[in-house]
């Protein structure tokens, strides 16, 4: 309210000040002019009187000058002839006593002298009168002092009256504000409140405020009851929705798991059909069938992962893990896909450690890198790197692909969503990878950010808490430290009759630090054995050419080495008979398609010499997140 009061005073005082100063200034200006003109008129009177008595002689003029010097305003009087020679010159001593006055000025008046005192006669000289402004200046100062004193008294009275008037305006408003503040801070339901004021000008406003407070109390009570009722309804609906979502997620998990077995059988039938049919058209149809089965399998895998996350059946195992090993596995898993698509994959090494679930963190990075390669055009590049951000390590996946529009930044983390696609395009994935990434980051409480520009590329940045390198004691077993690898320098034999699978597997194992030997048949393995080669582990496809199986390869190597060798058989056949046969031969089975992470884990266990967990035993499907 002080602001309002100040404005009222200034709005009233500003024109008053302007008017007062204007009137005072005009008055002083007129009075000063009158004093100056009076001084000049006095000088003219003296000069004209002397000019009129010029014919009476110089003695008369001197007497007259002496009489004129009785006024202190006259400083000096001179009479000169026509040749400018001084006839009479006199100085007023009284005027000289005021010469030190700081505002003193001189006024000189010349008056002509004519012979015989007639203006029509010839001019024979002039009278020069010098006037002093000292006394006039003193009068001016007195006038200024009186004017300022009267103006100050007038303004003081005016300001006082304005303050009284403004207080009469603002005081009732202050009282209303204080009453309303008290009402706002009190409980409207606990008491009736009435605003009162003594100002008749604001009486109508006070009455309307009283009506408003009464209505607010009534509306508040009604709104409170409505909120409580709606809250109860929403709480019940939320509980029902959560229960339905949990039930549907559990059902989807069970259903998708049970559908895997017929899909494996369908894959076998298609593989058998591919060997029996001939002709480009039939081969194309079988290829389309195989592609459809792969899409369906990937979709079921993704749906199962999402259902597990939604059903909260996955509990993260937080521990210290190495970023170097993580990036190494990511590179090994995607380098072949990137090479086939002609996309340059660059993974910068990093020696730091983070605190997270290593398996779930690896799944996040696998999906992000796979998504980046999928949406990068041939000739582009994908960069995987890490940066230090305070107490966190930021894992970044950068690409120069198609980019993501700002309006799609939130939509891409929904199921079955693809950017710039009117319908789902299975060649670009199933739209489940980023949905799984979103759920996993929330489960692990990691921060995922996205920066993208359409037609320029995208950057996915995952922040993970950093950790110190764990200390390895002598008593600590290798399985207790996640950074210890048993694969470095190990000799591994890879057997497969598919050149593409053979090449990709050799590359992955080589990236993991193994010394890899490859063969596409039993004959090739026999030749290597004859050359004296030995291996620490065997990975072989079960079904090879000429009715040769992976068991024949394993038996041939064992007979040559005269010792037991760990072995892994990869197959798409899920029959119990085959599982029993592989178990009897001392092998371990993985079903196609094999995830590199699971293959690496099984190799680690086999080379470490520890007992194999049940999840790696024969007959187990590869369906974990």
Mean pLDDT across the stretch 358-378? 88
User: Is 426 in the same domain as 335?
Assistant: yes
What mean pLDDT is predicted for residues 204-224?
78
Residue 362: pLDDT over 80: yes
DSSP state of 357: -
Q: Which residues contact 283 (CB under 8 A, 6 or more apart)?
A: 274, 277
Q: Is residue 173 part of a domain?
A: no
Residues 42, 117: one domain?
yes
Look at residue 163 and tell me if it is in a domain: no
For 484, residues 6+ apart whose C-beta sits below 8 A from its C-beta are 472, 478
Q: Which residue blocks in 259-279 are alpha helix, DSSP H? A: 260-276
State the first-to-last Cα distance of the chain, in angstroms, to the nearest integer: 66
For 479, which DSSP code?
G
Same domain, 81 and 41: yes
Say yes or no: 322 and 298 in one domain: no
Q: Is 90 exceeded by the pLDDT of residue 49?
A: no
Q: Is residue 66 part of a domain?
A: yes
> Is residue 581 situated within a structural domain?
yes
Confidence category of residue 154, pLDDT binned at 50, 70, 90: confident
pLDDT over 60 at 8, yes or no:
yes
Q: Which residue did the predictor score with more confidence, 491 or 290?
A: 491
- 500 with 556, same domain: the answer is yes
Total Cβ atoms within 10 A of residue 214: 14
Asked if pLDDT for residue 391 goes beyond 70, the answer is yes
394: confidence class by pLDDT, cuts 50, 70, 90: very high
Asked if 455 and 506 sit in the same domain, the reply is: no
Query: Do 136 and 9 share a domain, yes or no?
Result: yes
H helix intervals, 454-574: 499-511, 522-530, 550-561
Of residues 42 and 5, more confidently modeled: 42
pLDDT at 463 (0 to 100): 92
Which residue did the predictor score with more confidence, 64 or 257? 64
Among 420, 453, 484, the domain-final residue is: 484
**Tokens 């068991």 belong to residue:** 551
Q: How far is CA 83 from CA 45, 120, 123, in A?
A: 24, 19, 11
- Strand 491-495, strand 537-541: pairing: parallel
Query: Would you say residue 105 has pLDDT above 60?
Result: no
Q: What CATH code is carried by the domain that includes residue 431?
A: 3.30.565.10
123 contacts 114 by C-beta, under 8 angstroms: yes
Cis omega (within 30 of 0) on the bond before 455?
no
Residue 478 pLDDT greater than 70, yes or no: no
Domain that holds residue 241: 186-313
Beta partners for 383?
346, 398
Q: Could you tell me the CA-to-CA distances from 389 to 74, 103, 392, 394, 535 in Å, in that order?
A: 95, 79, 5, 6, 44
**Cα gap 12→159, rounded to integer Å:** 9
Q: What is the pTM of this model?
A: 0.40
Is 430 a domain residue?
yes
Please give the pLDDT value at position 615. Answer: 45
The answer to whether residues 241 and 291 belong to one domain is yes
Is the pLDDT score of 342 beyond 80?
A: yes
Is pLDDT above 80 for 7? no
Average pLDDT, the chain: 76
Point out the least confidently predicted range of 24-38, 121-135, 221-235, 420-434: 420-434
User: Do the domain assignments include residue 576?
Assistant: yes
Tell me: do 358 and 387 sit in the same domain: yes
* Predicted local confidence at residue 475, as pLDDT: 45
**Confidence tier at 312 by pLDDT (50, 70, 90):** low
Contact 604, 481 (CB under 8 A): no
**Domain final position from 104, 129, 153:** 153
- The pLDDT of 145-164, averaged and rounded, is 86
Residues 222, 96 share a domain? no
Helices (H) and strands (E) in the chain, counts: 15, 16
Q: Do both 98 and 127 map to the same domain?
A: yes
Strand partners, 393: 388, 464
Q: What integer pLDDT is reported at residue 461 of this predicted model? A: 92
Total domains in the chain come to 4
**Is there a domain that residue 25 lies in?**
yes
Q: Give the DSSP letter of residue 29.
A: H
The model's pLDDT over 106-131, given as tens digits with 9 standing for 90+, comes to: 455 565 655 555 555 556 678 888 88
- Is residue 272's pLDDT more than 70? no
Report whether pLDDT(317) > 80.
yes
Q: Confidence band (pLDDT; 50, 70, 90) for 83?
A: confident
Q: Is the pLDDT assigned to residue 540 strictly greater than 60? A: yes
Choice between 390 and 287, residue whose per-residue pLDDT is larger: 390
Asked whether the predicted pLDDT for residue 103 surpasses 60, the reply is no
Query: How much is the pLDDT for 269?
Result: 61
- Map tokens 């290798």 to a residue: 478
Average pLDDT over residues 522-527: 90
Q: Are residues 282 and 144 in the same domain?
A: no
Name which of 96-110, 283-297, 370-384, 489-503 the model is least confident about.
96-110
pLDDT at 256 over 90: no
Segment 571-587, tens digit of pLDDT: 766 555 676 777 776 67
| Boundary-marking domain end, from 484, 516, 546 | 484
351 compared with 248, residue with greater pLDDT: 351
DSSP 181-243: HHHHHS-TTT-------S-GGGHHHHHHHHHHHHHHHHHHHHHHHHHHHHHHHHHHHHHHHHH
* CB-side neighbour CA atoms (13 Å) of 335: 19
Average pLDDT over residues 165-176: 72
- pLDDT bin (cut points 50, 70, 90) of residue 420 is low
91: domain CATH number? 3.30.450
Q: Confirm whether 169 is domain-assigned.
A: no
Do β-strands 457-467 and 353-356 pair in parallel, antiparallel, or remain unpaired?
antiparallel
* 501: CATH: 3.40.50.2300
Question: Structure tokens of 174?
Answer: 């202050």
pLDDT value at 388 more than 80: yes
pLDDT at 193 over 80: no
Average pLDDT for 459-465: 92
**Averaged pLDDT, 214-234:** 86
Beta partners for residue 621, in sequence order: none
């Amino acid at each position: 309210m002080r602001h309002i009061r100040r404005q009222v005073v200034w709005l009233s005082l500003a024109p008053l000040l302007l008017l007062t100063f204007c009137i005072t200034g005009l008055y002083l200006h007129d009075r000063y002019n009158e004093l100056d003109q009076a001084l000049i008129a006095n000088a003219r009177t003296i000069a004209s009187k002397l000019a009129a008595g010029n014919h009476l002689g110089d003695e008369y003029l001197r007497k007259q000058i002496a009489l004129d010097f009785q006024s202190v305003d006259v400083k000096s009087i001179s009479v000169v002839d026509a040749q400018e020679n001084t006839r009479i010159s006199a100085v007023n001593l009284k005027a000289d006593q005021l010469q030190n006055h700081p505002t003193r000025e001189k006024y000189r008046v010349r008056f002509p002298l004519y012979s015989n005192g007639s203006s029509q006669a010839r001019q024979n000289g002039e009278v020069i009168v010098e006037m002093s402004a000292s006394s006039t200046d003193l009068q001016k100062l007195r006038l200024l002092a009186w004017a300022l004193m009267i103006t100050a008294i007038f303004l003081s009275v005016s300001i006082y009256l304005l303050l009284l008037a403004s207080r009469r305006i603002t005081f009732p408003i202050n009282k209303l504000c204080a009453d309303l503040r008290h009402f706002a801070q009190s409980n409207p339901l606990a008491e009736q409140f009435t605003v009162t004021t003594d100002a008749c000008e604001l009486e109508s406003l006070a009455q309307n405020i009283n009506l408003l407070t009464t209505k607010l109390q009534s509306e508040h009570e009604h709104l409170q009851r409505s909120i409580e009722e709606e809250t109860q309804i929403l709480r019940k609906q939320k509980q029902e929705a959560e229960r339905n979502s949990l039930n549907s997620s559990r059902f989807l998990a069970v259903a998708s798991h049970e559908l895997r077995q017929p899909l494996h059988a369908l894959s076998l039938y298609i593989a058998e059909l591919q060997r029996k049919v001939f002709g480009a058209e039939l081969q194309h149809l079988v290829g389309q069938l195989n592609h459809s089965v792969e899409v369906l399998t990937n979709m079921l895998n993704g749906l199962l992962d999402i259902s597990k996350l939604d059903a909260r059946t996955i509990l993260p195992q937080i521990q210290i893990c190495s970023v170097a090993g993580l990036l190494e596995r990511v590179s090994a898993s995607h380098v072949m896909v990137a090479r086939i698509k002609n996309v340059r994959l660059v993974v910068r090494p990093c020696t730091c450690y983070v605190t997270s679930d290593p398996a779930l963190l690896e799944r996040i990075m696998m999906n992000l890198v796979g998504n980046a390669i999928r949406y990068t055009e041939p000739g582009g590049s994908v960069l995987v790197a890490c940066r230090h951000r305070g107490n966190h390590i930021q894992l970044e996946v950068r690409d120069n692909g198609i980019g993501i529009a700002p309006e799609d930044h939130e939509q891409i983390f929904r199921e079955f969503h693809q950017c710039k696609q009117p319908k789902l395009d299975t060649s670009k994935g199933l739209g489940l990878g980023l949905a799984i990434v979103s759920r996993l980051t929330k489960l692990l409480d990691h921060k995922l950010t996205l920066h993208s520009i359409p037609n320029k590329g995208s950057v996915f940045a995952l922040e993970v808490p950093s950790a110190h390198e764990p200390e390895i004691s002598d008593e600590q077993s290798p399985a207790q430290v996640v950074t210890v690898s048993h694969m470095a320098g190990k000799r591994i034999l890879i057997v497969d009759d598919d050149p593409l699978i053979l090449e990709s597997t050799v590359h992955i194992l080589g990236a993991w630090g193994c010394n890899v030997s490859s063969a596409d048949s039993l004959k090739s393995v026999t030749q290597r054995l004859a050359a004296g080669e030995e291996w620490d582990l065997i990975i072989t496809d079960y079904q090879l050419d000429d009715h040769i199986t992976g068991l024949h390869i394993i038996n041939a190597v064992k007979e040559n080495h005269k010792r037991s060798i760990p072995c892994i058989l990869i197959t798409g056949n899920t029959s119990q008979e085959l599982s029993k046969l592989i178990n009897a031969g001392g092998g371990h089975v993985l079903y196609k398609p094999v995830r590199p992470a699971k293959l690496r884990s099984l190799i680690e266990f086999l080379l470490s010499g520890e007992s194999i967990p049940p999840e790696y035993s024969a007959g187990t499907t590869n369906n974990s997140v």
